[in-house]
């Protein structure tokens, strides 16, 4: 039987954070988690859009426990402030879904001077995880789900001497690099959880070809020409619904049998039910992950050290 939202167990008493929860896959993910009883933090940049999203969820689930936190992943100060708000309300955090992302944007920079796609898709989420790490480690068995894409197959590992592709930037090259960074981050975080003896788990998911506003935003930005328009057309004509596209990340976040390091995706690459897929380990994987960690800490000034955080929580 294909996995659907009906398979999500009772999440009463659990706390979840979903980035990019104002629309598309993020909204579907937040809705399903809230419908299963979790207290869900809707984290997004636009206050008006996320407020409308909250109201829409409550139309379906009047008793849903929902909170809003403004989060701009393109600004490290906003990431820190959002984490402090969440930590101020909860000692533990059970589910963190890194859903927000940008696709194939023209060359632009974040408030901190990073290239926008690498900054939002990876560095912002890296910093958010680091700030929320104590609450994740205090939970009975927290899960961090990082959303990647089939584009990670064409991405190149981060070059420590040029992580922002200065002089080499193209929208799709930058997108592939950012999505491979998401893939490497999910694997690397699980290694660090395991080495520290932490109960928390890190998993990866990708939604396949889903018809959301992501493709429309890409075309509206005007940086991808015919390839962006083709992506938009394919998603509109053949893409899965946002509800179906969110199932891999929801399964990673909630399936009791999901193991740390697992990768969930549509059965037929970009289409089909959410199933566990093999994690393909390229030559040099461990070095690529180590380099990503070094670059991420250097660029953000934020340390993500699971062993140290775990040790600090011991009585």
Inter-helix orientation angle 225-238/213-221, to 10°? 160
Q: Are the beta carbons of 179 and 151 closer than 8 angstroms?
A: yes
Q: Are the beta carbons of 47 and 22 closer than 8 angstroms?
A: no
Please report, to the nearest 10 degrees, the dihedral formed by the alpha carbons of residues 28, 29, 34, 39 taken in order. -140
Q: Please, which residues have CB within 8 angstroms of residue 305's CB and are 6 or more apart in sequence?
A: none
Nearest by Cα to 242 from 21, 66, 91, 44: 21
Q: Are the beta carbons of 82 and 69 closer than 8 angstroms?
A: yes
Q: Please provide the size of the chain in residues.
A: 315
Tell me how far apart the alpha carbons of residues 244 and 209 are, in angstroms, rounded to a whole number.
10
The SS3 call for residue 255 is coil
* Residues identified as active-site: 175
Hey, what are 199's tokens? Answer: 């109960």
Radius of gyration (Cα) for the chain, nearest Å? Answer: 18
Nearest by Cα to 93 from 15, 18, 146, 145: 15
Hey, what are 163's tokens? Answer: 């992580």
Q: Are the beta carbons of 112 and 78 closer than 8 angstroms?
A: no
Tell me how far apart the alpha carbons of residues 26 and 43 are, in angstroms, rounded to a whole number.
9
For residue 145, list its beta bridge partners. Answer: 97, 203
Using the structure block, give the residue that is written with the tokens 């800490």. Answer: 297
């Amino acid at each position: 039987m294909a996995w659907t939202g009906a398979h999500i167990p009772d999440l009463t008493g659990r706390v979840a954070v979903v980035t990019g929860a104002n629309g598309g896959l993020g909204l579907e993910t937040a809705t399903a988690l809230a419908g299963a009883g979790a207290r869900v933090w809707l984290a997004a940049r636009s206050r008006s859009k996320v407020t409308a999203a909250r109201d829409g969820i409550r139309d379906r689930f009047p008793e849903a426990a929902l909170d809003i936190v403004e989060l701009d992943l393109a600004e490290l100060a906003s990431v820190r402030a959002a984490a402090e708000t969440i930590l101020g309300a909860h000692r533990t955090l059970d589910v963190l879904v890194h859903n927000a992302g940008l696709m194939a944007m023209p060359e632009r920079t974040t408030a901190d001077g990073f290239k926008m796609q690498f900054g939002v898709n990876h560095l912002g989420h890296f910093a958010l995880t680091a700030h929320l790490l104590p609450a994740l480690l205090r939970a009975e068995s927290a899960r961090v789900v990082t959303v990647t894409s089939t584009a990670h197959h064409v991405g190149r590992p981060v070059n420590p001497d040029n992580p922002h592709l200065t002089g080499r930037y193209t929208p799709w090259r930058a997108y592939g690099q950012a999505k491979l960074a998401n893939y490497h981050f999910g694997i690397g975080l699980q290694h660090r959880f395991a080495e520290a003896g932490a109960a928390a788990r890190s998993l990866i998911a990708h939604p396949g070809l889903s018809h959301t506003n992501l493709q429309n935003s890409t075309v509206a930005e005007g940086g991808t020409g015919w390839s962006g328009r083709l992506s938009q057309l394919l998603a509109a004509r053949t893409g899965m619904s946002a509800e179906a596209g969110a199932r891999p990340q929801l399964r990673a976040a909630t399936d009791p049998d999901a193991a740390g390091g697992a990768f969930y995706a549509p059965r037929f690459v970009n289409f089909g039910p959410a199933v566990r897929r093999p994690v393909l380990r390229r030559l040099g994987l461990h070095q690529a992950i180590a380099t990503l960690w070094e670059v991420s800490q250097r660029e953000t000034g934020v340390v993500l050290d699971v062993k140290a955080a775990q040790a600090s929580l011991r009585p």
